[in-house]
Structure 1
Amino acid sequence: MISSVAQVPYTGGEKESLHISLDRHRDVVLWKLEGLDDEQLRRPMTPTGTNLLGIVKHLATVEYGWFCAAFGHATEDFWFDTSKDDMTVAPDESTERILAFYARARAAADRSIEETGLDTTGTSWNGNTVSMRWVLIHMIEDVLRHAGHMDIVRELIDGATGSYPAP
């Protein structure tokens, strides 16, 4: 259970501040799942099928892709086709399996962030040269975007609102 999220330090270093900002919003993603049953987590809430668990699966995939694969760090095999819409959840993909996948992706990404300098470059999935700094900023943007989606989906499911857990 997420009872609160970390605060970005007011005078922290660049890498520390970016990493804590990312972590802060990763925790919000998990908080948006709290108190919901499996059916609610999988319920498509838009015409395209967006659902809370599918967003988590997507975020796990991009954590591995941007933080690990781009910088030559190990990833795990995905059990779905990443060239297709990875925000769907198949009936045989359990909630526990997807949440464990997200936890492992976060841990692997955290190791890559710790081991890689901000100015170190890697190669993205589309062949672009990217720095760790750029990837951190990009992933903060991506997690924030999807956390916003989750805000709306969660409100549509049960009326729950809020940006962060109450302190």
Structure 2
Amino acid sequence: MIDACAKETPHERLRRDRGALLRKLDGLSEYDARRPLTASGTNLLGLVEHVVTAEARYFGGVFGRPSPEPLCRWRDADGSDLWATADEIRERIVGFYRRAAEHADATIGALPPDAPGHVPWWPEPWSRTNLFSVLVHVLGETARHAGHADGLREGLDGRTGVRAEHESPVDERARAAHRAKIERAARAAASVAAGRPPHAA
């Protein structure tokens, strides 16, 4: 049996990472929230939509507690769960995330860590699982996508960090100097690996 206290730390971390992910949308225009920022089309609002739908499914039907509202698209073959269409309103997606989080928190609070669940999209024998395992899985996915969002937001306007109080104004000159130092180190290492003197980079 898993100790009931075992779910408190991952649950608290999940709450923190949800907030970090949502914060990456703060202050962005509709275009910047939705535009593709990688070759595969990854975008900030799409990451939020993907994570909220996954969380709603994992802490919903997996434990016989389905979402009280319809779920967004998810895991479509064309990747359509990782972007928002023009008619999908950002405030509705964010609002759904907050409501899905409340529903998930209620599931986590109501069930013991070893409560059985069934994840039909996982292969056997892993599809028969428990609340603790699902909590760890969803925490990992949320942290992963919050990290993606952090990098994407930095590319847009330089903002990084988990919490607003950790942010400081971006010093573009200092940042450029730091980046140049790292570039020089990378080129020097490549020269050494190629058997050339470091200054030949």
Q: How many residues align?
A: 156
TM-score (norm 1): 0.87
The secondary structure found in structure 1 opposite 2:148 is helix
| Equivalent residues in 2 for 1:93-132, closer than 5 Å | 93-126=88-121, 128-132=127-131
1:124–1:130 contact (8 Å) kept in structure 2: yes
RMSD of Structure 2 on Structure 1 (CA): 1.7
2:33–2:43 contact (8 Å) kept in structure 1: yes
Aligned AA for 2:83? Answer: T
Counterpart for residue 133 of structure 2: 134
Counterpart for residue 181 of structure 2: none
Counterpart for residue 90 of structure 1: 85
Query: Which structure carries more relative contact order (alpha carbon 8 Å, separation 6+)?
Result: 1
Q: What is the percentage of aligned positions where both structures have the same residue?
A: 38
| Equivalent residues in 2 for 1:1-167, closer than 5 Å | 13-75=5-67, 76-80=69-73, 82-84=75-77, 85=79, 86-126=81-121, 128-166=127-165
Distance of aligned partners of 1:20 and 1:81 in 2 relative to their CA distance in 1, 3 Å threshold:
closer
2:53–2:72 contact (8 Å) kept in structure 1: no
Q: Which one has a bigger Cα radius of gyration? A: 2
| 5+ residue gaps, structure 2 | 167-201
TM-score (norm 2): 0.73
Q: CA deviation at 1:93?
A: 0.4
Q: CA deviation at 1:150?
A: 0.2
Mapped to 1, the partners of 2:120 and 2:164 lie a distance apart of 34
2:53–2:74 contact (8 Å) kept in structure 1: no
| 5+ residue gaps, structure 1 | 1-11
Q: CA deviation at 1:107?
A: 1.0
